[in-house]
């Protein structure tokens, strides 16, 4: 099945930025005749606040529907393990004992972005790896992808951002605590679910070249067979990224302040140029008016309704 998707982390209630991105993902998928799927990205157990059910309720109340039950990422561990094993069999996985502090303190390659992995553990022999394992106990080493020569930089075409070029370092596949890393899981899960359209916040655009490298190495669909659209974020009144400090920013908080779901939906549509100021629109009207080519390319600054 050809499909788009929305994949929230259950770390808390969805705020207006999350809801706007979910609405856009739904609009892109439904307007192109694709299915629309829901996946709860609950791999990071430390950030799981048990908010998945509330998130799904809020999305449904907004008018967003999806095909089939929501998929839990934690139930897909066998596929994640198989992908890492396949890469390891080809000599593309190595142990890494570096901490985040180690990486930030190490010199990086020319033109590499801050925080890019400098390859400290890449060429260690078995004795050196064993010594590193002993040194970091009880922590376990992470597993990193040995990015093949020639794949260190990659460009892709984005529906909204145009041509995006990114540096691909030796990314983590499995963390030291055993959790599968986001970049590996999202690639494996999207392919398994038939997702060929990925709509998400533009803060994740820099991760996409890494994911495309993984898609190609694993023989999974990759651009142009997979379409990406990274959408502008929502900012608070101060101009910083929308957050709880900006007051009532979730659907439930806004409802508690007397702002109903219809008004929230209409404000989101207005921010996308799909409703006139003050106009009340239903989800069907928003879909009928949707044109990806006319979407704003700048962040939307949320300002509360005057009371």
Q: How far apart are CA 205 and CA 197, in angstroms?
A: 14
Q: Does position 307 have pLDDT exceeding 60, yes or no? A: no
The phi and psi torsions of 68 (rounded to 5 degrees) equal 80, 175
Q: Is 121 annotated in some ligand binding site?
A: yes
Q: How far apart are CA 266 and CA 286, in angstroms?
A: 9
Q: What sign for the dihedral angle of Cα 11, 17, 23, 26?
A: negative
Cβ-based burial of 276 (10 A; exposed 0-12, middle 13-18, buried ≥19)? exposed
* Residue whose pair of structure tokens reads 């561990």 in the numeric block: 77
Q: Is 9 annotated in some ligand binding site?
A: yes
Q: 262-278: per-residue pLDDT in tens?
A: 999 999 999 999 999 99
How crowded is residue 202: how many other Cβ atoms within 10 Å of its Cβ? 18
Instruction: Tell me the DSSP string of the chain.
Output: --EEEE---SSS--BHHHHHHHHHHHHHHHHTT-EEEEEE----GGG--S-HHHHHHHHHHHT---SSSPEEGGGGHHHHHHHHHHHHHTT-EEEE---HHHHHHS---TTPPTT----TTTT--HHHHHHHHHHHTTSPPEEEE-PPTT-SEEEEEETTTEEEEEE----EEE-TTSPBPHHHHHHHHHHHHTEEEEEEEGGGGGGHHHHHHHHHHTT---TTSSEEEEEPPEE-TTSSBP-GGGSS-BHHHHHHTT--HHHHHHHHHHHTTSS-TT----HHHHHHH--GGGS--S-EE--PPP-
Domain layout of the chain by residue ranges: 74-231
Q: How far apart are CA 241 and CA 219, in angstroms?
A: 36
Contact at 8 Å (CB) between 245 and 236?
yes
Q: 33-69: per-residue pLDDT in tens?
A: 999 999 999 998 767 768 999 999 999 999 999 999 9
Q: Does position 1 have pLDDT exceeding 90, yes or no? A: no
Q: 233-272: per-residue pLDDT in tens?
A: 999 988 899 987 878 899 999 999 999 999 999 999 999 9
The angle formed by the CA atoms of residues 87, 92 and 96, to the nearest 5 degrees, is 110
Q: 184-210: per-residue pLDDT in tens?
A: 999 999 999 999 999 999 999 999 999
The CATH number of the structural domain formed by 74-231 is 3.40.50.620
Q: How far apart are CA 198 and CA 255, in angstroms?
A: 30
Q: Is 76 annotated in some ligand binding site?
A: no
Q: Is 244 annotated in some ligand binding site?
A: yes
- Longest Cα–Cα distance in the chain: 68
* 40 DSSP β-pair partners: 72
Q: Is 182 annotated in some ligand binding site?
A: yes
pLDDT at 47: 72
Q: Is 223 annotated in some ligand binding site?
A: no
* 213 DSSP β-pair partners: none
Q: Is 209 left (phi over 0), alpha (psi -120 to 50) or beta?
A: alpha
Q: Is 96 annotated in some ligand binding site?
A: yes
Q: Is 282 annotated in some ligand binding site?
A: no
pLDDT at 110: 58
Tokens of 262: 């219809």
The answer to whether the predicted template modeling score (pTM) of the entire model surpasses 0.85 is yes
Kindly state the percentage of the chain with pLDDT values over 70. 97
Tokens of 174: 């499995």
């Amino acid at each position: 099945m050809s499909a788009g998707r929305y994949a929230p982390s259950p770390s808390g209630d969805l705020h207006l930025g999350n809801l706007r991105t979910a609405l856009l993902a739904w609009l892109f998928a439904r307007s192109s005749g694709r299915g629309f799927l829901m996946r709860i990205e609950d791999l990071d157990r430390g950030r799981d606040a048990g908010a998945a059910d509330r998130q799904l309720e809020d999305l449904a109340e907004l008018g967003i529907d999806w095909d089939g039950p929501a998929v839990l990422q934690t139930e897909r561990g066998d596929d994640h393990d198989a992908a890492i094993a396949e890469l390891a069999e080809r000599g593309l996985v190595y142990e890494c004992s570096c901490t985040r502090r180690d990486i930030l303190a190490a010199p990086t390659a020319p033109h590499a972005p801050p925080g890019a992995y400098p390859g400290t553990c890449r060429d260690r022999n078995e004795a050196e790896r064993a010594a590193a394992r002993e040194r970091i106990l009880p922590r376990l080493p992470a597993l990193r992808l040995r990015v093949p020569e020639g794949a260190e930089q990659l460009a892709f075409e984005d529906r909204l951002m145009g041509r995006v070029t990114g540096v691909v370092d030796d990314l983590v596949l499995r963390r030291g605590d055993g959790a599968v890393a986001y970049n590996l899981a999202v690639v494996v899960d999207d392919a398994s679910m038939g997702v060929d359209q990925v709509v998400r916040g533009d803060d994740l655009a820099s991760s996409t070249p890494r994911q495309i490298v993984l898609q190609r190495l694993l023989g999974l669909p990759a651009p142009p067979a997979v379409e990406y659209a990274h959408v502008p974020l929502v900012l608070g009144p101060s101009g910083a990224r929308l957050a709880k400090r900006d007051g009532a920013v979730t659907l439930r908080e806004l409802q508690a302040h007397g702002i109903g779901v219809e008004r929230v939906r209409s404000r989101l549509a207005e921010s996308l140029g799909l409703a006139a100021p003050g106009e009340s629109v239903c989800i069907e009207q928003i879909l009928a008016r949707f044109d990806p080519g006319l979407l704003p390319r700048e962040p939307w600054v949320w300002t509360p309704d005057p009371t």
